[in-house]
Amino acid sequence: MPETLTHKILASHLAAGELTPGADITIAVDQILIEDATGTMTAMQFEMLGADSIAVPLAVMYVDHNVLQIDDKNMQDHHYLRTFSARYGLRYSPAGHGISHYIHLEHFSRPGQVLVGADSHTSTAGALGMFALGAGGLEVAVAMAGYGFDFVCPAVVGVELTGTLGPNAEAKDVVLELLRRHGVRGGRGKVFEFYGEGVASLSVSARATICNMIIETGAATAIFPSDDQTLAWLRAQRRGDQFVPLAADAGAMYDDDERLDLSALVPLVALPHSPGNVRPVSELPRTEVVQVCVGSSVNSSYEDLATVAAILKGHTVHPSVQLTVTPGSRQILQTIIASGVYEDLMQAGARMLEPVCGPCVGIGQAPTAGAPSLRTFNRNFPGRSGTAEDAVYLCSPSTAAASALEGAIVDASTVSRGELRPATPPHPEVHDLHIAGVLPLETRRAIGIERGSNLVPPPQPTPMPADLDARVLIAVGDDISTGDMAPDGAIAMSVWSNIAVCARFMFRRLDPGFHDRAIEWSGGIIVGGENYGQGSSREHAALIPLYLGVRVVAARSYARIHRRNLIAAGIVPLVLPADAQGSTGQRWVIEGLADALASGATSVAAQVDGDKELVLGLDFSPAERAVLTAGGLLAQVRTGGRSMLAGDAVVQDDAAGVAAPGRSAR
C-alpha cells in the first residue's frame, strides 16, 4: 500500500503501537534538541531518572533564550547546563552562538530521522525531511534516557503545493494562509505533509519558515520531502553524504487533503493578538508602526535578511520606526557580513542584534504600549513582547522591510527592490569551533555539575487523591497561552529554574491575585476555555500549578503539548462541557476521581457548590491513563512502569550525527 512520508519515517522508528490516528505509539528517537529556557527543568528531571548517560545517538543543548544576564541567574543556568551536558554526553552550544532551530538545521538535522525537542518549534527541522516534534521537558528527558517517545499517532494532512510564489509573496505568506484557513485550533492532532510540483521551488530556508510556524495552527509538526533542495543545502553545509531522497509514494492516501496555489498568494499579516487572525495587507486601514523586528527562530536565515537588505539598500528607515534585525546563527552572521548584507542593513538604520531569541520572547525591544509593532516572528500572544498592552502584527520579511521605510504596514509592491546579494559560501566549521563535543564516558563520570542557588529541582506530585474537594482558583477564556502561565520577559524567565519563584508570575496579566489566592486556599482548580495552553512547550505552565496544589484543570479543549505536560505532572486535564461555566470561588467536589481514571471511565461528576452536578469528560488514551494513575510520568518511569527500548542507541561525538542502523526511512 502506498505510504505517506510521515508514515514511512514513523514505521521505521516504531517500537510499539499501530499507526492509526488516535492510537498510542512509541517511537525510537535519533536526536534530541534542548534549549536553556526549558533545559534546566529537562536536565534536572533527567537526573531524577538515575541515568548514567544519554541513550540516543545525538543530543544538543542550546543556550539561546536567557542570555541578557541582568543578574547572575542566567549565568548560573549556563554553568549548570554546560556541566550537565559534559557529564551526560550532550553537545553544548553556548550563549551567542545562535538560535537552536537554525543551528540544528545547519549542522545536525538529517532526512528520515526523528528529532524530539523541548521547544515547540522543533518542527523547523521538518524542512529537511525529518519527523521533528516538540514536547515538554520531562517527556524529552525520558526519551533521552532511552525509553523512546510516547505520543498519540496524528492524522496526516497532505498539502499539495502548485505554482510558484509571486514577486511579493514569501514562504511566510504560505503558513499565514494556512493559519487563515485553520486558525490556531484547526491543526490539532495533525501533521501537515507537503508535496506537489510547487515544493521544488521552495528553498530549505523557506520550508523552515513553514515548518516552524505550522505549530501555531495547533499541529504536531510539518514535513517536506528530501529532494534536490535538500541535497543542495546539505552540500553547502558539507554534509552531502547525509542526503537520503525521501518522499511519499505515488498514490499515498492522506487522512485529509488540501491544495494551495503558491502563485495565488498575496502578502498577509496576522493582527493582534493571535497568529490565526490573518488578513491580506491590502485590506488593512493605514496602520502606522513604531517598531519593525526581523528575525527570531523564524525568518532569520540568510535568504530572509538578504531580502530585507535588498529593499532597504540606498534608503533609511522611517524616522518614527525602530528597526531591529536578528540573524539566526553565528554562521548566518558571518555570511551576511561577508556578502555585504550586514553593511546594507546597518546603513539603512537597522539595529543589529546578536543571534539569540531576544525580542521574540520579550527579552529586549519591548514596544510602546498600544503602538503597533510589526514583526517577522511566529507568535503575537498578548504580552509576549514584554509589554502587557502590546499590539504586535506578524508578517513576511519583505512586508517588514517595506513597512520600515513607509512607517506603516504596506507590502513590498509599494517599493523598489534590488537583486538579492548572493550568499558567500557558509562556514560550517564555526559550529565545530564553538559547540562542545562529547567526552568518553569514564571521563564524564568524574565531571562535577555546577548548581547555583537559582537551580531548584521541580516539585513532584503526590498520589492522586481518591476524591477531590477544592475551589476554583480562576476561570479563564479561550486560547490562553502558556505564556500567561509562565510569562516571557527577562525578569520572569530568569527564574524558570525555580518553580516556587516562577509561580509568582502565573496569570499575573489576567489576575494579579492568583498566586496568593492559590497559596491561601492550599491549591484548587483551574477552569479554561477552548485551546487551553496554546503556544510554547514550557512545562513550567504545568509544574507551577502542581507546586500551587492544583490537581485538576477543566477546559473545553487543550493544546497538544500543554495537555501532555499536565498529564506528565500528574494533573488531570478534564473536559468541560461546551455549555458549562466556572467562576472563581466555586467549590467542586469530585468523588471517585482516582477510581474513574483507573477503571477507564469516560466521565466523572462534580458537585458544584453542593447543589449542581457537572459532568466532566475523561478523554484519555490507555497510555495517558497509565501515567496519571502512576502519579505522573517520572513516578511511572522510576517505579518500572516504562521499559527502555532495546536497540542500538549510542552516544554521538562527531560534528553532524550518525543514523542509528535500521532506522532510515526509504
Res. 192: pLDDT tops 60 = yes
The pLDDT of 283-289, averaged and rounded, is 97
Lowest-pLDDT choice from 333-342, 410-419, 587-596: 410-419
Q: To the nearest whole number, what is the mean pLDDT of the chain?
A: 95
Residue 447 — pLDDT band, cuts 50, 70, 90? very high
pLDDT band at 647 (very low <50, low <70, confident <90, very high): low
Query: Is the pLDDT at 297 greater than 90, yes or no?
Result: no
Three-state DSSP class for residue 228: helix
pLDDT of 664 over the 90 cut: no
Structure-block grid coordinates of residue 486: 509562565
Half-sphere exposure of 435 (CA within 13 A, CB side): 33
Q: How far is CA 434 from CA 95, 103, 236, in A?
A: 10, 11, 19
Of the candidate ranges 213-217, 410-414, 528-532, 592-596, the one whose mean pLDDT is the lowest: 410-414
**pLDDT given at position 346:** 97
The whole-angstrom separation of Cα 23 and Cα 111 is: 25
Q: What percent of the chain has pLDDT over 90?
A: 90
Residue 212, H or E segment: helix 204-213
CA–CA separation, 397 and 336 (whole Å): 15
CA nearest neighbour of 190 among 14, 32, 4: 4
Say if residue 48's pLDDT is above 60: yes
Dihedral of alpha carbons 585, 587, 593, 594, sign:
positive
Question: Is residue 21 scored above 80 in pLDDT?
Answer: yes
- What is the grid cell recorded at 586? 466555586
Closest CA to 244 of 428, 426, 25, 8: 8
Question: 326: which residues sit within 8 A by CB, 6+ positions away?
Answer: 293, 294, 295, 296, 300, 353, 354, 355, 356, 358, 359, 360
Q: With H, G, I as helix, E, B as strand and everything else as coil, classify residue 421.
A: coil
pLDDT at 414: 87
Q: Which is nearest to 156 in space by CA: 119, 131, 121?
A: 131
Kindly state the cell numbers that stand for 653.
561525538
Q: Which residue has the cell 553547502?
A: 236
Burial 533-545 (b: 16+ CB within 10 A, else e): bbbbbbbbbbbbb
* pLDDT greater than 50 at residue 658: no
- What gap in Å lies between CA 298 and CA 117, rounded to an integer? 16
Q: Which of 221, 263, 228, 233 is nearest to 247 (CA)?
A: 228
Q: State yes or no: pLDDT of 662 exceeds 50.
A: no
First-to-last alpha carbon distance for the chain, in angstroms, is 14
Burial of 591-610, coded b for 16+ CB within 10 Å and e otherwise, reads eebbebbeeeeeebebebee
Please report which confidence band the pLDDT of residue 656 belongs to, taking 50, 70 and 90 as the band edges: very low
- What is the DSSP code string of 616-661? EE----HHHHHHHHHTSHHHHHHTT-S-PPPS------SSS--PPT
Instruction: Give the C-alpha separation, 538 to 542, whole Å.
Output: 8
Phi and psi, residue 45, nearest 5°: -75, -30
The secondary structure of residue 558, as a DSSP letter, is B
Written as nine digits, the cell of 608 is 458544584
Residue 363 has pLDDT above 90, yes or no: no
| Residue 371 vs residue 357, higher pLDDT | 371
pLDDT in tens, 369-412: 999 999 999 999 998 888 889 999 999 999 999 999 999 999 99
pLDDT above 90: residue 361 = no
* Distant-in-sequence, close-in-space partners of 235: CB < 8 Å, separation ≥ 6: 243
486 vs 558: CA distance, rounded Å: 17
The count of other CB atoms within 10 Å of the CB of residue 580 is 16
With contact defined as beta carbons under 8 Å apart, do 615 and 588 qualify? no
Predicted confidence (pLDDT) at residue 628 exceeds the cutoff of 70? yes
Give the mean pLDDT of 518-524: 98
Q: How crowded is residue 429: how many other Cβ atoms within 10 Å of its Cβ?
A: 11
**pLDDT of 652 over the 80 cut:** no
Distance CA 198, CA 196 (A): 5
Spatial separation of the C-alpha atoms in residues 155 and 218, rounded to whole Å: 13
The answer to whether the CB of 142 falls within 8 A of the CB of 43 is no
Q: Is the dihedral of CA 513, 37, 448, 88 positive or negative?
A: positive
Cβ atoms < 10 Å from Cβ of 263: 12
Q: Which residue has the higher pLDDT, 490 or 303?
A: 303
Instruction: Give me Rg for the CA atoms of the chain.
Output: 24
- Is the per-residue pLDDT at 286 higher than 50? yes
d(CA 455, CA 445): 21
Is the pLDDT reported for residue 661 higher than 60? no
Query: Residue 345 is placed in which grid cell?
Result: 542593513
